[in-house]
Structure 1
Amino acid sequence: MTTSPAPVAPPAPVAPVVELRGATKSYPGGVHALRGVDLTVREGEMLAVVGPSGSGKSTMLQIMGTLDKPTSGTVRVAGYDVGELTDAQLSALRARHIGFVFQHFHLAAGRDAVDNVADGLLYAGVPLRERRARAREALTKVRLDHRFSHTPNELSGGEKQRVAIARALVGDPRLLLADEPTGALDTASGEVVMELLHELHAGGTTVCVITHDNEIADALPRRVRFRDGEIVSDTCAGRVECL
């Protein structure tokens, strides 16, 4: 008598990288920066959060990156409800899951590219020698292996932004949040940075670009358009709505 093999359980579903449900953000004086936003970002996506100044997209960055909490609603990052976490737990969640790239680089003057990138691991408990080794790997990934010893004043704007991207990537985050990453760059440097973000996405990184530039947004696979604190459209690869 033969027995059938035991059924194999399907793999557990992977939690979305970020999930917002009914998220609002209000400030004194009746200012409503977010109005009941629902958004899901899944592993491996590349999307733009796009809108004019004052539309709510910067607030979205703060909420998605756990730099701020919503006034109401639920925000989950990697399956964790951020409203239930302490400040220390939020810091650990950011360090493990989220990398940030800002318009104005935020590099330390007088410190070379390796140390600027290694600083991205300061709060991860990684020894200095390993931090620097991983920083060199990240700089090589953004094609700056010839600039290890250069300080910010010896780098072009595009190179500074690539150092900032390397710093965001050195902790191997699930999500890269890029806030107006080309805003302080000339056209050619901006194109290099966007090309690099596309390469990182192709390698498996989830990338979210916050921008006011419709040309940049239209070149990404998913566009989430904001106006007056609300999502007015969410389009994927030509479809009207994203799954």
Structure 2
Amino acid sequence: MTAAESASRSAPASEPGAAVEFSGVSRHYPGGVRALDGVDLRIDRGEMLGIVGPSGSGKSTLLNLLGTLDAPTSGNVRVFGYDIGSLTDDQLSALRARSIGFVFQQFHLAPNVYAVDNVADGLLYSGVPARTRVRRALRALERVGLADRAYHRPHELSGGQKQRVAIARAVVGAPPLLLADEPTGALDTVSGEAVMRVLRELHGDGVTVVVITHDRELAADLPRQVEVRDGRVLTDSGTPKEPDTSGVRKGAGR
């Protein structure tokens, strides 16, 4: 039995529409640090939201729990029905591999490697044959508007293009949940807007997109905003609103 199959058998079912559920979640660290304190949060499948707050508010801890990179000190975190506190490391790795894509502020692209190969690396541990990995990587680059940059190396790409390559790598395996940590933090305004257009298009395709940011203006343009401070949810707009897609064109921007 594979780790994924074992996780499937042991995991209780989530509510039908839930991608992620936090129930009374706290995360404490040595020295009395309470990074999260009794958080309740539900993210439905297909939502797009921003988790916003200043440095030290608990955003990074939330990201680690959403991405199954950490477990709560108390309370329950369920990701697509799996109680992450009850899974083994192998089961958590399997869950991440098939269900979660990560995008970070720094692009983490291998230097002197073509964009298509950087994207294909997102499938290295999936058991997919090399030729199929390249084919899927080319499709993922087309999806983010970079089909014409497939055989360019990182130093030949703009900052916005590098981030779109990183997004393509995150979604090449078609995960239903995408976690974007400060995805525009290292970009100029024009490039940042292009990256956000890509994230909105992915959301339009049915991907659950969570953007972690300190930028209130960016978060305000998203369908839902969750504000965290001192390890607690301060406000939650709750009911998603339709994003402003005026002027959105696939692959627009640099």
Q: Which residue of 2 aligns with 1:152?
A: 154
- Which stretch has the larger CA shift, 228-237 or 213-222? 228-237
Given the superposition, is the C-alpha separation of residues 55 and 122 from structure 1 closer, same or farther in structure 2, using an over 3 Å criterion? same
Given the superposition, is the C-alpha separation of residues 238 and 17 from structure 1 closer, same or farther in structure 2, using an over 3 Å criterion? closer
Aligned mates of 2:73, 2:49 — CA distance in 1 = 25
Aligned mates of 1:182, 1:194 — CA distance in 2 = 8
Q: Which residue of 1 aligns with 2:86?
A: 84
- Does the aligned pair in 2 maintain the 1:102–1:180 contact within 8 Å? yes
CA shift for structure 1 position 15: 5.0
Correspondent of 1:101 among 90, 93, 103: 103
CA RMSD of aligned residues (A): 1.4
Correspondent of 1:29 among 28, 31, 38: 31
CA shift for structure 1 position 228: 0.3
Aligned mates of 2:240, 2:227 — CA distance in 1 = 14
Q: Which residue of 1 aligns with 2:247?
A: none
Aligned mates of 2:227, 2:117 — CA distance in 1 = 37
Q: Which residue of 1 aligns with 2:214?
A: 212
SS of alignment partner, residue 187 of structure 2: coil
- Does the aligned pair in 1 maintain the 2:47–2:240 contact within 8 Å? no
Aligned mates of 1:180, 1:137 — CA distance in 2 = 25
CA shift for structure 1 position 202: 1.0
Asked which structure has the greater CA Rg, the reply is 1
Q: Which residue of 2 aligns with 1:125?
A: 127
Superposed CA deviations along residues 39-62 of structure 1, whole A, max 9, x for unmatched, are 111111000000011100111000
Following TM superposition, the consecutive aligned residue runs of length 4 or more in structure 1 with deviations greater than 2 angstroms are: 12-15, 236-239
CA shift for structure 1 position 238: 8.0
Question: Residue type of the partner of 2:213?
Answer: T
Given the superposition, is the C-alpha separation of residues 23 and 236 from structure 1 closer, same or farther in structure 2, using an over 3 Å criterion? closer
CA shift for structure 1 position 14: 2.3
Given the superposition, is the C-alpha separation of residues 83 and 238 from structure 1 closer, same or farther in structure 2, using an over 3 Å criterion? closer
Q: Which residue of 1 aligns with 2:8?
A: none
SS of alignment partner, residue 17 of structure 1: strand
Q: Which residue of 2 aligns with 1:174?
A: 176
* Structure 2 gap segments, 5+ residues each: 1-13, 242-254
After the TM superposition, which residues 1-243 of structure 1 pair with which residues of structure 2 at under 5 Å, given as runs? Answer: 14-236=16-238
SS of alignment partner, residue 123 of structure 1: coil
Question: Residue type of the partner of 2:73?
Answer: T
Q: Which residue of 1 aligns with 2:5?
A: none
Aligned mates of 1:176, 1:214 — CA distance in 2 = 20
CA shift for structure 1 position 30: 0.7
- Does the aligned pair in 1 maintain the 2:22–2:78 contact within 8 Å? yes
CA shift for structure 1 position 72: 1.2
CA shift for structure 1 position 237: 5.3
Superposed CA deviations along residues 66-114 of structure 1, whole A, max 9, x for unmatched, are 0111111111111011111111110010011100000001111121111
Q: Which residue of 1 aligns with 2:245?
A: none
Question: Residue type of the partner of 1:61?
Answer: L
Superposed CA deviations along residues 121-164 of structure 1, whole A, max 9, x for unmatched, are 11111111111100000000000000011111111100000000
Superposed CA deviations along residues 155-177 of structure 1, whole A, max 9, x for unmatched, are 11000000000001101011000
- Does the aligned pair in 1 maintain the 2:15–2:81 contact within 8 Å? no
What TM-score comes out, normalization by structure 1 length? 0.91
SS of alignment partner, residue 173 of structure 1: coil
Aligned mates of 2:40, 2:30 — CA distance in 1 = 23
- Does the aligned pair in 2 maintain the 1:178–1:209 contact within 8 Å? yes
Q: Which residue of 2 aligns with 1:7?
A: none
Q: Which residue of 2 aligns with 1:6?
A: none
